[in-house]
Amino acid sequence: MDILIIDDDAVDRMSAIRTLRKSELALDRIDQSDTAAEGIRLASEHNYDVILLDYQIPPSNGIEILREIRGGNDYSTAIVMLSHSNDERLALACVEAGAQDFIMKSEVTSSRLKRAILISQERHSLEQEVRSSHDQLRYIAERDSLTGLRNRYFFDETLRDAVTRNSRTGEQLVLLLLDLDNFKKVNDVLGHQAGDRLLQEIARRLEQPIRESDKLCRLGGDEFAILVYDLPQLEHVRLLVTRIFKSLEKPLIIHGQTVEVTVSIGVATYPLCATDATGLMKCADVAMYRAKELGRNRVQYYSVDFHEKMVSRMQLEFDLKQAIKGDQLTLFFQPQLDTHSEQLVGVEALIRWQHHTLGMIQPDEFIPIAEESDLIIDIGRWVIEAACRQFSQWVETAQGTHICFSIAVNLSARQLKDHALSEFLQRCLAQHNIPADLVELELTESHLENSLSAVEMLNSLSATGVRLSLDDFGTGYSSLSHLSQFPFSILKIDKSFVQSGDDKQQRTLLKAICAFAHSLGYETVAEGIETEEQKQLCQSLNVNRLQGYLFSQPISAESFENNWLQSVV
């Protein structure tokens, strides 16, 4: 038996040790400590069978020490409190705080101590049994025995707690109700055992798309629920739903039979749709039935606005996939002029989507959708290819004249994950016979990650000979040291600085930005020039290039040829 004595009184410690030795207990080890802190440390480092703990160890009191030991030590040690006082309330408080026994120091004899220790151990092991069966009971009570998922009881409790908590924090709570579409048929045709196997398999599949913090429960029968906490944006619900449908796409093999399972999903969010747990549940239920009515294998969002928004985004994503394959994407071009000569020195390619029913869609509307999925990778490559093809034609047209201009293409930060991008770029340049130094890649400052892989990717793009330009500069708060890690040679000053009008502070900022950029050898481009004054301001600050509606809006390739190329060729 290993025993620890925590007591600040050396005489009391010695007396306890003497009594222990006389007690005929099988003692292997007796450690002692005269301070609370050391006692707590020893108790956390070694698994003692029993701790004898003095109630009075100034400045702490025994109950505080007791709680601390209990907190860190997982209930594996029996604790006997020793005190000079025979206050019964104190004894009770100690037992409540986790001590197994309480004896007065004046009453300590070998036999009393031995009995206290043995009884404490016994009591302690009983307590542990109760505790572990309580945990087991809780596990059984909260789990669905067929699938191992959390059950209806857990779900009801959790939903209630979550609503209460979120009403305090103001965070969103999203409830997805899922109901299998053809489960009854499986049960009828293949039998109940197959039905059970199917539910188990579905449970495993549904576990894949969710995050650890999401709660997946089986409510009963073929009905499941997913509770999603603290979503950064409602947008993510759509992604989750897509992933759920995807996880069920592959047919299941049950008892040698191929079974295809689809699911109808109803989604409701708190506090948008309902103000309490019951209401939220009702909304999700209504939405789920609506999904069934509309032909199953689909999702329905409760509020009309929410539903329409989600569906139109989903439709747009679907259409966008077609758009890449078809020829609905086009590039517009916006000229850039030399600040002083006002001659054409560059052009920025800006994507447009000619949707078959919705007409022209601006990039601000569909690039974010493309960025959320991997569509941006294909779109990004399409842009590079199309821009190179177009540019090579213009270079040919301009041959023999003295004009020389560059082309700028926008890249999404997400495209830096496209590891073969620099090879792709190199192939495009070679295929269209374009000098690399006439091509610029623009990356938005605010989306740039300061990760090693992003820096490596930018270095490898820069190694192809193209120039890198930091777009919307000034809006992303990049520190100067941060900036020097990236191989940018051009800073594209955000339009807000140029367009601030009479705001004196913004003007001062613009001046500072220009001075800073030039002193570090960056070339500068000012975008969003709409007025003569803005142009003059940039001229006075020696910005290198200007771009904006004052000179031209983004225009089609044909207009660009007619209005800009012909004039210089």
327 touches which of ligand C2E, Ca ion, none (CB within 5 to 8 A by kind)? none
548 touches which of ligand C2E, Ca ion, none (CB within 5 to 8 A by kind)? ligand C2E
Give me the residue label for tokens 């020490």. Answer: 65
CB of 465 to ligand C2E, least distance (A): 21
Q: Are 65 and 82 in contact (CB under 8 A)?
A: no
530 touches which of Ca ion, ligand C2E, none (CB within 5 to 8 A by kind)? ligand C2E
Q: Residue 287 or 458: which CB sits closer to Ca ion?
A: 458
CB of 308 to ligand C2E, least distance (A): 24
528 touches which of Ca ion, ligand C2E, none (CB within 5 to 8 A by kind)? ligand C2E
406 touches which of Ca ion, ligand C2E, none (CB within 5 to 8 A by kind)? none
Phi, psi of 538 (to 5 degrees): -65, -35
Give me the residue label for tokens 């049950």. Answer: 254
Enumerate binding residues for ligand C2E (CB under 6 A): 334, 350-351, 362-364, 367, 383, 410-412, 442, 444, 471-472, 495, 527-530, 548-549, 554
Q: Residue 288 or 490: which CB sits closer to Ca ion?
A: 490
Q: Which residues contact 144 (CB under 8 A, 6 or more apart)?
A: 150, 151, 152, 217, 218
Q: Residue 69 or 331: which CB sits closer to ligand C2E?
A: 331
Q: Residue 115 or 432: which CB sits closer to ligand C2E?
A: 432
Instruction: Please report the beta strands in 339-466, taking only residues with DSSP state E, as ranges in sequence order.
Output: 344-355, 359-361, 406-411, 439-444
Enumerate binding residues for Ca ion (CB under 5 A): 410, 442, 471-472
351 touches which of ligand C2E, Ca ion, none (CB within 5 to 8 A by kind)? ligand C2E
3-state secondary structure 49-104: CEEEEECEECCEEHHHHHHHHHHHHCCCCEEEEEECCCCHHHHHHHHHCCCCEEEE
Q: Residue 16 or 434: which CB sits closer to ligand C2E?
A: 434
Q: Are 150 and 143 in contact (CB under 8 A)?
A: yes
Q: Are 203 and 220 in contact (CB under 8 A)?
A: no
Alpha-helix runs per DSSP H in 253-339: 277-293, 304-325
Q: Residue 82 or 411: which CB sits closer to Ca ion?
A: 411
CB of 422 to ligand C2E, least distance (A): 16
Which residue of the chain is nearest Ca ion when measured via CB? Answer: 442
Q: Are 394 and 561 in contact (CB under 8 A)?
A: yes
DSSP output for 473-542: ETSS---HHHHHTS---EEEE-HHHHTTTT-HHHHHHHHHHHHHHHHTT-EEEE----SHHHHHHHHHTT
CB of 491 to ligand C2E, least distance (A): 13
319 touches which of ligand C2E, Ca ion, none (CB within 5 to 8 A by kind)? none
Q: Which token pair is 322?
A: 């077609």
Q: Residue 237 or 411: which CB sits closer to Ca ion?
A: 411
